[in-house]
Structure 1
Amino acid sequence: MKLARVTGTVTATAKDAQLVGLTLLLCDVVDGKGKVLEPAVVAADTVGAGVGAQVLIVTGSAARLPARTTGVPVDAVITAIVDHVDLG
C-alpha cells in the first residue's frame, strides 16, 4: 500500500466497458510528511474519497483484488481514507 493525497478528478467518456461506473481520481503518492514522491497517479476509487483526502492506494495485481475492481483493467485503486498518520 502507498500513502497518497487526492489532487483531482479524471473524466474519460470513451473507456473500457468495465470502467463504467468507477470514479477515477488523480493522486500524488506522498511520504508520511506529505512530500510528493510520485505525482499524478490515476486510481479507481472504491471508498468515496474526494479531492484533498489522504488515502491508501494499492497498485499492480493487488489493485484487481477489491470486490468492485475484480477483473477490471486497473493498476491503482483507492482502498481506504486515512484519518491520521502518526510519525511518533
Structure 2
Amino acid sequence: MRIARVIGHVIATVRSPGMRMDKLCLVEFIDRNGQTNGDLHIAMDQLGAGEGEWVMVVAGSSARTAYSGGSSECPVDLCVVGIIDEVMAADERLYNKFN
C-alpha cells in the first residue's frame, strides 16, 4: 500500500467493459512530509474520497482483487482501499483529516 493525496476527479463515460462506473480519483503519491514528485495517477474509488484527502491505494493485482475480486478482465491498476483520518510517525502527527 502507498499513501496518496486526492487532487481531483476524472470523468470517463466510455470505459472498458470490465470497469463499472465507479468514481475515478486523480491522485499524487506523497512522502512523509506530504510532498509529491508531480506524477499524476488515476485510481478507482468505491469509497467516496474527496479532494484533499489522504488515501491508501494498492496497485497491480492487489488493485484488481480489491476492485473486482481478481478478475483478469478488469483493467484496473490502482484502487483506493482506505480514506486516512490520521498519520503518526515517531510521535509526530504527519496528517490529520480534521485539522
Q: Would the TM-score normalized by the shorter structure come out above 0.5? A: yes
Structure 2: where are the runs of 5+ without partners? 91-99
Give the share of equivalent positions with the same residue, in percent.
34
Q: Which has the higher contact order (CA 8 A, sep 6+)?
A: 1
Aligned partner of residue 33 in structure 1, secondary structure? coil
RMSD of equivalent CA atoms: 1.4
User: What is the TM-score normalised by the length of structure 2?
Assistant: 0.80
Moved over 6 A (4+): none
Q: Write the mapping of 1:32-71 to structure 2, written as runs, cut at 5 A.
A: 32-37=32-37, 39-66=39-66, 68-70=67-69, 71=71
Structure 1: where are the runs of 5+ without partners? none
Larger radius of gyration: 2
Q: Which has the higher helix share?
A: 1
Q: Write the mapping of 1:21-40 to structure 2, written as runs, cut at 5 A.
A: 21-37=21-37, 39-40=39-40
State the distance in 2 between where 1:59 and 1:37 align: 18
User: What is the TM-score normalised by the length of structure 1?
Assistant: 0.88
